[in-house]
Amino acid sequence: MNRLDGKVALISGAARGIGAETAKLMVEAGARVAIGDVLDERGRDTARALGDGALYHHLDVTREEDWSDAVTATAAGFGGIDILVNNAGMFLGKGIEEASVDEWHRLAAINLTGVFLGTKLTLPALRERARNSEYGSAIVNLASVAGLVGSQLDPLYSMTKGGVTLFTKSTALEFARKGYRIRVNSIHPGVIQTDMGEQTFTARARNLGSNDVDDARRIALTTHPIGRLGVTNDIAKGIVFLASDDAAFMTGAGLVIDGGLTAQ
């Protein structure tokens, strides 16, 4: 189950966090993985730890030429691309009155333009491999619970993730209509303990006016009925599943992995 033998994946923002754990699980599942990020040293270390099954290439997801180079490097290293994971993202943690237009442009460039460019620039490689594989190629987009329900912490982040949610469904429909054999699905994590998870606690503490990050973490925990916050492995397993042929009949879907947060 959930095997990726012979598959090649390109994962954006995989130097650390959810992306790095996904790269690890994918290599364990038999895939070869290209890690793209702006954190070059961390990204190289992450790839090195995974051995011959992984390579690192610098990738700023907001830059078309970086995507082009990353796709070329992945194809040169591993022979093509079957799986794209649009994982790179940023969290702002500011309300409407605090956020500036420049901050919005940066957020939108990474969380929205980055997903558009990743999809567009890897598309020829994904189509090429889809022709000769039994169930085709796959794209997995990292949305969020904040792409399904509103976020009191960061309405601008929520706007970008809501965009990713419907971009996922729309590209799934477009590629199906065109017969490309590329499935597109999204993942919707609750609060996951990563650097970004920590940023959400800091933002919550600021909103509380206490700047007590431990208290903010406790409050975040109470919003997850399952009784704990998420870890990267919880999300990476879902990404591997959506990327694998076990999800062959899934496209345009959203997989919610949130400890019950949005069930309330």
Give the residue numbers annotated as catalytic, written as ranges: 157
38 forms part of the interface with ligand NAD (CB under 6 A):
yes
13 forms part of the interface with ligand NAD (CB under 6 A):
yes
Find the shortest distance in angstroms from Cβ 12 to ligand NAD: 5
> Among 162, 197, 238, 254, which residue interacts with ligand NAD (rule: CB under 6 A)?
197
Cβ–Cβ under 8 Å, residues 22 and 236: yes
> Among 81, 110, 138, 256, which residue interacts with ligand NAD (rule: CB under 6 A)?
110
Cβ–Cβ under 8 Å, residues 194 and 258: no
Nearer to ligand NAD, 127 or 194 (CB): 194
Find the shortest distance in angstroms from Cβ 16 to ligand NAD: 4
CA distance 228 to 224: 7
Between 77 and 96, how does the x/- string for binding to ligand NAD read (CB under 6 A)? ----------xxxx------
CA distance 72 to 195: 30
Nearer to ligand NAD, 122 or 136 (CB): 122
Cβ–Cβ under 8 Å, residues 224 and 258: yes
Cβ–Cβ under 8 Å, residues 239 and 183: no
CA distance 195 to 215: 17
Torsion sign (Cα): 149, 88, 12, 115 = positive
Window 112-151: residues binding ligand NAD (CB under 6 A): 142, 144
Residues touching ligand NAD: how many (CB under 6 A)? 29
- Please choose, out of 2-10, 17-25, 124-132, 240-248, the segment that lies near ligand NAD by the rule CB under 6 A: 17-25
Closest CA to 258 of 236, 231, 232, 230: 230
> Among 39, 149, 166, 231, which residue interacts with ligand NAD (rule: CB under 6 A)?
39
213 forms part of the interface with ligand NAD (CB under 6 A):
no
37 forms part of the interface with ligand NAD (CB under 6 A):
yes
18 forms part of the interface with ligand NAD (CB under 6 A):
yes
Nearer to ligand NAD, 27 or 92 (CB): 92
- Please choose, out of 31-39, 76-84, 171-179, 217-225, the segment that lies near ligand NAD by the rule CB under 6 A: 31-39
> Among 9, 25, 196, 203, which residue interacts with ligand NAD (rule: CB under 6 A)?
196
CA distance 86 to 106: 17
Residues near ligand NAD, by CB under 6 A: 12-13, 15-19, 37-39, 59-62, 87-90, 110, 142, 144, 189, 191-192, 194-197, 200
